[in-house]
């Protein structure tokens, strides 16, 4: 595992966006795994900004979404598919057929296999250590499946739903699916992630904190802003 402790949130965001850009510039037909959530919004904004500056070509890339809520009608503004449309597809000028979204009844694992696998996987982290929607209790051999969301995750995501109820279920790529990706970049920003990050660094393969499984990946980079890193001390 490589840990990058940045000097500011803006720097952490820039480092993460640059990792994607470097990959796409050196391999235009890259397969990128994308996370949703507030953490990633400025990363995608930075990607769009740099794309305009350097004319990066995303037209040959393919994107796999990590997860999606179950039960939201198509086009629901709080669905992750709409999030990806707003923050990635439209700003980067992607075609709809460049993006795959997991769904009930679809064979996502087969689609992943047929793509040749994800070259670079972007991840955020839940306050309870979830990755994608692999909540505490998820096993290391889990694959894309329907999952039940914890109350704490539903509460953390309530602001995206205004007065509406947050769905109780989702479909998520599994831990095994994530560990098969060729490189993983997890970005954590803000004090609300500090406890989860401390746990990731101190504990190994803990089902109660699924992000700990990532440490067995050969190419795992953890990018932290000063607040997410505020409960760890790597300088001793």
Tell me which of 132, 167, 174, 210 binds ligand GLP, using CB under 6 A: 132
Q: Is 174 in the site for ligand GLP (CB under 6 A)?
A: no
For the segment 7-36, give every residue that binds ligand GLP (CB under 6 A): 35-36
Q: Which residues contact 128 (CB under 8 A, 6 or more apart)?
A: 135, 136, 150, 152, 153, 196, 209
CA pseudo-torsion sign 150, 65, 157, 187: positive
19-to-120, 156, 180, 192 alpha-carbon distances in Å: 9, 27, 19, 24
From the CB of 122, what's the least distance to ligand GLP, in Å?
9
**135 carries an active-site annotation:** yes
From the CB of 235, what's the least distance to ligand GLP, in Å?
26
From the CB of 80, what's the least distance to ligand GLP, in Å?
7
Q: Which residues contact 15 (CB under 8 A, 6 or more apart)?
A: 4, 6, 223
**206 carries an active-site annotation:** no
**67 carries an active-site annotation:** yes
End-to-end CA distance of the chain, in Å? 18
Name the active-site residue from 68, 128, 199, 225: 128
**87 carries an active-site annotation:** no
Binding site for ligand GLP (CB under 6 A): 35-39, 66-67, 124-126, 132-133, 157
Q: Which of the residues are catalytic?
A: 67, 128, 130, 135
């Amino acid at each position: 595992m490589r840990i990058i402790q940045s000097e500011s949130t803006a720097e952490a965001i820039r480092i993460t966006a640059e990792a994607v850009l470097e990959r796409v510039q050196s391999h235009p037909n890259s397969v990128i795994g994308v996370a949703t959530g507030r953490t990633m919004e400025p990363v995608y904004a930075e990607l769009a900004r740099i794309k305009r500056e350097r004319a990066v070509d995303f037209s040959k890339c393919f994107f796999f979404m990590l997860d999606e809520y179950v039960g939201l009608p198509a086009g629901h503004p709080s669905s992750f598919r709409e999030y990806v449309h707003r923050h990635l597809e439209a700003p980067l000028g992607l075609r709809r057929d460049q993006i795959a979204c997991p769904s009930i009844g679809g064979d996502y694992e087969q689609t992943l296999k047929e793509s040749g696998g994800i070259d670079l996987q972007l991840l955020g982290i839940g306050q309870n250590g979830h990755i994608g929607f692999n909540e505490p209790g998820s096993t290391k051999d889990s694959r894309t499946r329907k999952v039940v969301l914890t109350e704490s995750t539903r509460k953390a995501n309530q602001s995206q739903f205004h007065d509406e109820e947050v769905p109780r279920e989702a479909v998520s790529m599994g831990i095994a699916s994530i560990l098969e990706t060729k490189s993983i970049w997890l970005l954590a920003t803000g004090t609300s992630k500090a406890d989860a990050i401390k746990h990731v660094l101190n504990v190994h393969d803990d089902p109660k904190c699924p992000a700990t499984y990532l440490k067995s990946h050969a190419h795992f980079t953890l990018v932290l802003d000063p607040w997410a890193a505020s409960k760890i001390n790597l300088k001793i």
